């Protein structure tokens, strides 16, 4: 009897873990190794993805020398910065205000600010498509009205989908979607702030913005750095918004093409999984290079 | 006195700022609902309509004309999202429990592998997954979306962490002394303590599965079997886009989330910043 229980207890964790281990091996570990293997091989004669010939780093060299990879890298970094920074510049004061004035009606602001984060990016892209339409879209009507106040008789019509503007539009949508998430993150970080510091600061005559700089930001610094890191890593993997707003084409002059779209096109439009895997591993290296920074931040915390 | 007046003014200005920000986040949703009740030409007329029209019925018919399988798509989305969420709740609870309250050979290695795998972006598994899906002949099948996502590593680690904080080894031992077998320990000691964590895992995986675009794009080819977001996306670039119908479809797929968030807003509010007062 004693022995049976002992045997049971030893088996139980494996029993509990079996589904997880199978799924982890099948859909995480194996694909990771398989993609590395594919990145180092060229499709063989038969065209099968199991029978390939070893090619060393040829796939990586091809991707690095591909002009579109450079374009995609440039676009991605550009959008990552333009969408990433404003998120935090809005989220920190907003969270600070909601924290300082914890009134019931402020729940409305939190509600609407978080709603975009839950909404499907397809829905968001389609609605913004309608609002930013070139000819009679709401945004262009407003801009035109404002413009004509200053320059009467000179109509303004911005094509948000041309090579010059599409990245701004993508960045705006990404920023709009993720600000609420960051606000929530900062709000929960502010729970640990020392309330007395606010009292002291306001006795010294420091207003909202001054308190933000001298009390809030030093207090949430670890979370701030972590959130910036998460935003950067997330933005480097941007796909949905760019894909949807350019209708999958990358936009005119490919100025809305992101790294993830580049890989997607290599794999599922051109059908070259080996090149796509090589490109994916290049991005991984780029992300892993950022890792020491994130690690340092976490240790700091 | 003077200073007091200034403080009031500053507060008024901040309130104005908050109002503007709230509008910035809320207005696209407002226009989505408003556009759902107007004809395509009314949506792009000068000035843009800001109040509801009377074309709801027509837009609904247009939506069903363009997407005959719309409700089937919504059902597919619901099925995929709830199956993924339920499987994650069950499997993450079991695996998290195994990691948190048992010691077994290979535990350290397995944990290290799981944490390490989180460092790699999901794009790496995209191509091999496509090959596996075609090898298993899972194209156009919801299981191609459900099974690979059935037990997320993040969820497992989150539940493990949560159990370690909520339950001590003493509690487990006490239950055993009182005659609980291991399954009863899981059922009566662990599960009741981690319900809030399981709710978060379920909610997050549900939303993640519902909003997933990339994987359905790869594995679903038949429009009748599309998820709801994929079906809406297929209306993009088909000549003259039926904007009223698109906004109606978008509204119908978003409304459940608006209601869900409205119901849980109080809870999120309490968790994130009412605790601050404690």
**Mean pLDDT computed over every residue of chain B:** 85
Question: Of the given ranges (B1-10, B61-70, B130-139, B205-214), which has the lowest mean pLDDT?
Answer: B1-10
Question: Of the given ranges (A213-217, A279-283, B2-6), which has the lowest mean pLDDT?
Answer: B2-6
Q: Is pLDDT at B52 greater than 80 in this prediction?
A: yes
What interface predicted TM-score (ipTM) does this complex get?
0.84
Which segment, A188-192, A294-298, B120-124, B272-276, is predicted with the most confidence on average? B120-124
CB B213 within 8 A of CB A122: yes
Sign of CA dihedral B116, B122, B127, B132: positive
Residue B164 vs residue B237, higher pLDDT: B164
* E strand or H helix at B248: helix B243-269
Contact across the interface for B121 and A237, Cβ inside 8 Å: yes
DSSP notation for A24-70 = HIIIIIHHHHHHHHHHTEEE-TT--SSSEEE-TTHHHHHHHH-HHHH
Q: Is pLDDT at B5 greater than 60 in this prediction?
A: no
Cβ atoms < 10 Å from Cβ of B51: 8
Which segment, A148-152, B38-42, B79-83, B134-138, is predicted with the most confidence on average? B79-83
**Mean pLDDT computed over every residue of chain A:** 84
C-alpha pair distances (Å), A171 with each of A119, A125, B91, B126:
17, 12, 37, 25
Q: What is the mean pLDDT of residues B176-195?
A: 88
**pLDDT value at position B168?**
87
Q: Is pLDDT at B274 greater than 60 in this prediction?
A: no
A273 touches chain B (CB under 8 A): yes
A40 touches chain B (CB under 8 A): no
DSSP notation for B160-203 = HHHHHHH--HHHHHHHHHTT--HHHIIIIIIHHHTHHHHHHHHH
Contact across the interface for B127 and A277, Cβ inside 8 Å: yes
Question: Of the given ranges (A87-91, A133-137, A179-183), which has the lowest mean pLDDT?
Answer: A133-137
d(CA B87, CA A118): 21
Helix intervals (H) in chain A: 2-24, 30-39, 58-65, 67-100, 106-118, 121-131, 138-150, 166-190, 195-203, 208-211, 217-219, 221-236, 240-245, 259-268, 273-300
Per-residue pLDDT band at A300 (split at 50, 70, 90): low
Rounded to 10 degrees, the C-alpha dihedral A208/A214/A217/A218 comes to -160
Question: Of the given ranges (A56-60, A69-73, A261-265, B69-73), which has the lowest mean pLDDT?
Answer: A56-60
Contact across the interface for A111 and B247, Cβ inside 8 Å: no
Domain range summary for chain A, segments of one domain joined by +: 1-30, 66-300
**pLDDT value at position A280?**
94
Indicate the DSSP class of residue B45: S
Cβ-based contacts of A131 with chain B (< 8 Å): 28, 31
Q: What is the pTM of this model?
A: 0.86
**pLDDT value at position A299?**
65
DSSP lists the bridge partners of residue B101 as none
If you measure CA to CA, which chain A residue comes closest to B124?
A280
d(CA B230, CA B150): 21
CA-nearest of A89, A208, A98, A217 to B10 is: A208
Q: Is pLDDT at B278 greater than 50 in this prediction?
A: no
How close B181 comes to chain A (CA, Å)?
Answer: 9
Whats the size of chain A, residue-wise?
A: 301
Residues A30-55: tens digit of each pLDDT: 999 999 998 898 877 666 667 777 88
Residue A116 vs residue B264, higher pLDDT: A116
CB B73 within 8 A of CB B231: yes
Question: Which homologous superfamily does the CATH classification assign to the domain defined by A66-300?
Answer: MetI-like (1.10.3720.10)
B52 touches chain A (CB under 8 A): no
d(CA B276, CA B278): 5
**pLDDT value at position A53?**
79
CB B10 within 8 A of CB A207: yes
Helix intervals (H) in B69-194: 70-101, 107-118, 126-136, 143-146, 153-166, 169-177, 182-184, 191-193
d(CA A160, CA A155): 16
How close A109 comes to chain B (CA, Å)?
Answer: 5
Per-residue pLDDT band at A98 (split at 50, 70, 90): confident
Relative orientation angle of helices A259-268 and A67-100, to the nearest 10 degrees: 130
**pLDDT value at position B75?**
94
């Amino acid at each position: 009897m004693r022995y049976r229980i002992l045997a049971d207890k030893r088996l139980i964790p494996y029993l509990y873990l079996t589904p997880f281990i199978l799924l982890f091996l099948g859909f995480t570990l194996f694909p990771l190794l398989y993609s590395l293997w594919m990145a180092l091989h060229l499709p063989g004669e038969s065209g099968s993805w199991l029978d390939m010939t070893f090619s060393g780093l040829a796939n990586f060299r091809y991707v690095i020398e591909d002009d579109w990879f450079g374009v995609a890298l440039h676009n991605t970094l550009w959008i990552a910065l333009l969408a990433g920074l404003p998120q935090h510049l809005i989220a920190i004061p907003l969270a600070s205000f909601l924290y300082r004035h914890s009134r019931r009606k402020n729940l409305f602001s939190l509600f609407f600010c978080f709603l975009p984060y839950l909404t499907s990016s397809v829905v968001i892209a389609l609605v913004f498509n309608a609002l930013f339409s070139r000819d009679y879209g709401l945004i262009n009507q407003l801009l035109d009205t404002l413009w004509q106040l200053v320059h009467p008789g000179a109509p303004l019509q911005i094509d948000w989908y041309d090579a010059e503007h599409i990245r701004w539009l993508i960045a705006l949508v990404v920023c709009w979607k993720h600000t609420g998430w960051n606000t929530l993150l900062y709000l929960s970080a502010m729970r640990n702030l020392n309330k007395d510091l606010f009292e002291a600061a306001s006795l010294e005559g420091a207003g909202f913005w001054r308190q933000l700089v001298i009390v809030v930001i030093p207090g949430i610094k670890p979370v701030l750095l972590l959130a910036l890191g998460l935003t950067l890593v997330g933005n480097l993997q941007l796909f949905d918004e760019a894909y949807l707003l350019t209708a999958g084409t990358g936009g005119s002059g490919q100025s809305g093409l992101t790294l993830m779209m580049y890989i997607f096109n290599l794999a599922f439009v051109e059908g070259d999984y080996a090149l796509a895997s090589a490109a994916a591993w290049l991005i991984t290296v780029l992300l892993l290079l950022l890792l020491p920074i994130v690690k340092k931040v976490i240790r700091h915390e | 006195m003077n200073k007091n007046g200034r403080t009031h003014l500053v507060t008024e200005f901040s309130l104005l700022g908050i109002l503007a920000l709230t509008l910035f986040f809320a207005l696209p949703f407002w226009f989505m609902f408003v556009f759902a009740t107007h004809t395509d030409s009314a949506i792009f007329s000068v000035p843009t309509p800001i109040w509801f029209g009377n074309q709801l019925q027509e837009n609904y018919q247009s939506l069903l004309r363009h997407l005959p399988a719309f409700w089937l798509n919504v059902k597919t989305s619901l099925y995929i999202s709830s199956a993924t969420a339920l499987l994650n709740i069950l499997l993450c609870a079991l695996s998290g429990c195994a990691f948190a309250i048992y010691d077994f050979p290979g535990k350290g290695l397995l944990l290290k592998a799981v944490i390490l795998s989180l460092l790699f972006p999901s794009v790496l598994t995209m191509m091999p997954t496509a090959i596996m899906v075609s090898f298993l002949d899972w194209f156009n099948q919801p299981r191609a979306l459900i099974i690979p996502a059935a037990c997320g590593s993040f969820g497992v680690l989150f539940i493990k962490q949560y159990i370690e904080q909520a339950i001590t080894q003493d509690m487990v031992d006490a239950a055993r002394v009182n005659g609980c077998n291991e399954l009863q320990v899981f059922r009566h000691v662990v599960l009741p303590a981690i319900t809030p964590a399981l709710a978060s895992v379920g909610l997050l995986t549900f939303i993640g599965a519902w909003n997933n675009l990339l994987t359905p794009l790869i594995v679903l080819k038949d429009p009748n079997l599309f998820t709801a977001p994929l079906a809406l996306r297929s209306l993009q670039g088909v000549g003259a886009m039926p904007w009223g119908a698109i906004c109606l479809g978008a509204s119908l797929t978003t409304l459940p989330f608006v209601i869900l968030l409205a119901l849980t807003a109080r809870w999120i509010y309490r968790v994130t910043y009412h605790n601050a007062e404690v």
